[in-house]
Structure 1
Amino acid sequence: MDQASDVRTLALGETSGTVPLARDFTRSALTEWGWLPAATADRRAAAEDVLLVVSELVTNACLHAEGPERLRVLRGPQVVRLEVTDRGAGQPAPRTPHRSGRPGGHGMFIVQRLCLDWGIDRTPGAPGKTVWAELAAPA
């Protein structure tokens, strides 16, 4: 993922309409990379999963972490990595036990189910964190 064409970065900060903006930004990257418009049902499902995970990560930053600062979308040969940097000190985790019939609390459960892996990176001595998730690239 060394090539600049494989990385897209969007500053969010105090932007209004953050979640739709992040989805549109990611949709544009997927279009540039040839994922959209999808030629097959598998490619369409992969693109929809990426857009859903972006929505969940950015929404969590808005609701629980003082807002998102930045979204990065990185394309690798076998994965797409999504990174949302925020100002919050919290630790995102799927709600346990997960109760599908109750409203709210599904974001990190969805991320966990759709992604190959996800986690949190922190810089010692700096506020905030980066929540990242990796999804399989379509074949």
Structure 2
Amino acid sequence: MSTRATRPAETAYTEPTDLAVVREFVRDEAIALGLSRLRADLLTVAVSELATNTLQHTAGGGLVRIWAEPDRVRCDVVDGGAAPGFGRAMPAADQPRGRGLAIVERICDEVGIHPDGAGTVVSLALLF
């Protein structure tokens, strides 16, 4: 567990083939910052969903930043798209799409969203 804040590490992504690198980056950084393997895997799933949405719904790719604060690991997913619609109910089991953002909200301790100049920052946090 981190007892102090750290400087963000970051990685960019522009192509679907970059998603494996993003997942490995988030998992490795989260563990190095003090999250348990299980919690690091949860953060990895959330970031992967957001990065996948970036590639499906925006142009130009995105950026992932991750750092530790005294009681949590925080991760930002930054892209040039509009803010995603959080706060939705989980879609029915027979629906082919639409679960990703609902899953992100359920597995992260904090989810925030704010505009960032030409795009959007989705900020996630998992507590230690």
TM-score range, shorter chain: 0.7 to 0.9
Q: What is the CA distance between 1:59 and its match in structure 2?
A: 1.2
**Could you say what the CA RMSD is over the residues aligned between the two structures, in angstroms?**
2.2
1:39 matched to which residue of 2?
none
2:28 matched to which residue of 1?
28
SS in 2 for 1:17: helix
2:120 matched to which residue of 1?
129
1:51 matched to which residue of 2?
44
TM-score, structure 2 as length reference: 0.81
Answer yes or no: is the 8 Å Cα contact 1:19–1:58 preserved in 2: yes
1:101 matched to which residue of 2?
94
Q: 1:31-42 alignment to 2 at 5 Å?
A: 31-35=31-35
Structure showing greater Rg: 1
Answer yes or no: is the 8 Å Cα contact 1:95–1:105 preserved in 2: no
Question: Which runs of no fewer than 5 residues in structure 2 stay unpaired?
Answer: none
Q: How many matched pairs? A: 125
| Cα distance change of structure 1 residues 101 and 75 upon mapping to structure 2, 3 Å threshold | farther
Q: What is the CA distance between 1:108 and its match in structure 2?
A: 0.8
| Cα distance change of structure 1 residues 106 and 97 upon mapping to structure 2, 3 Å threshold | closer
Q: What is the CA distance between 1:100 and its match in structure 2?
A: 3.2
SS in 1 for 2:74: strand
Percent sequence identity over aligned pairs: 29
Partner Cα distance (2:58, 2:81) in 1: 4
- The letter for the 2-side match of 1:47 is A
- The letter for the 1-side match of 2:21 is L
Partner Cα distance (1:67, 1:101) in 2: 32
2:106 matched to which residue of 1?
113
2:54 matched to which residue of 1?
61
Encode CA deviations 1:8-50: one digit per residue, 9 max, x unaligned: 11122x3451221110111221343354xxxxxxx33212211
Partner Cα distance (2:90, 2:16) in 1: 33
Matching of residue 87 in structure 1 with residue 80 in structure 2: yes
TM-score, structure 1 as length reference: 0.75
Question: Which runs of no fewer than 5 residues in structure 1 stay unpaired?
Answer: 36-42
| Cα distance change of structure 1 residues 135 and 34 upon mapping to structure 2, 3 Å threshold | closer
1:8 matched to which residue of 2?
9
